Structure 1
Amino acid sequence: MGNRSSSSKGTSMVKYVESDGEWMELMEQSKEKLVVVDFTASWCGPCRMIAPHFESMSAEYASNAIFVKVDVDAMDKLAQKCGIRAMPTFQFYKNGEKVDEFSGADIATLKEKVSALV
């Protein structure tokens, strides 16, 4: 799982899922912490708009949650398996199970759901 930072503000703790094995590892980690998944695409304008907020939240909640991005073009089978139909879609996992989801670049909703679930 790679750590890439595309933000010059603060520290990004966002990890990038690049294989099915990494996804399975995350589901194991969700037994200990909330896993917040951003299903995104490089060509998606709203995805780029919310990205800096997602990255800053990854640092803010680093002790309680794991923030990851999944590129739907690179991981199309995983995106399909997770039922992704729009980008960005955020899914929240605890104990290996999806506990919540929403689509759209709504910063307030993202913050609200993360703070409620951690």
Structure 2
Amino acid sequence: MTVHIIATKDEFKEAIAREPIVLLDAFATWCGPCKAVAPVVAKWAESEEYKDKIYFAKFDVDHLPELAAELGVRAMPTFFVFKNGDKVDEHLGGNPGPIQALLQKSLAA
């Protein structure tokens, strides 16, 4: 699996409707912490632990400001977990530890 780029609000809605668990990264191209954590998230997306269980997606808040506003993004990066179409968790910031804890929690619940 890979980290999928969400280019439209419709793509976002389709992904959370289709996939049982989605980790969504709200990022900006100019954001230093976003750039720093992106390779870590990409590695998780390829890992045996997560690749067939969690759908990894990201969207650029500057390209989809209406989605960023709808989700309540206040800073980047913000990570959201959706289960069966519903937002169940979120984390603000690029520290890998809490993001990985979100992944673990999403699989456990």
Shared fold per TM-score greater than 0.5 = yes
Shift of residue 115 of structure 1? Answer: 1.3
* Counterpart residue number, 1:101: 90
Number of aligned residue pairs: 105
Instruction: Provide the rounded CA distance (Å) in 1 between the counterparts of 2:57 and 2:9.
Output: 14
Q: Which of 1, 18, 29 pairs up with 1:29?
A: 18
TM-score by length of 1: 0.85
| Match of residue 91, structure 1, among 74, 80, 92 | 80
- More RCO (CA 8 Å, sep 6+): 2
RMSD of equivalent CA atoms: 1.0
Identity %: 34
Q: Aligned residue for 2:70?
A: 81
2:41 pairs with 1:49: no
Query: Hey, which bits of structure 1, 4+ residues long, moved more than 4 A?
Result: none
Unpaired stretches in structure 2, ≥5 consecutive residues: none
2:6 aligns with 17
How far apart, in 2, do the equivalents of 1:70 and 1:98 lie?
A: 16
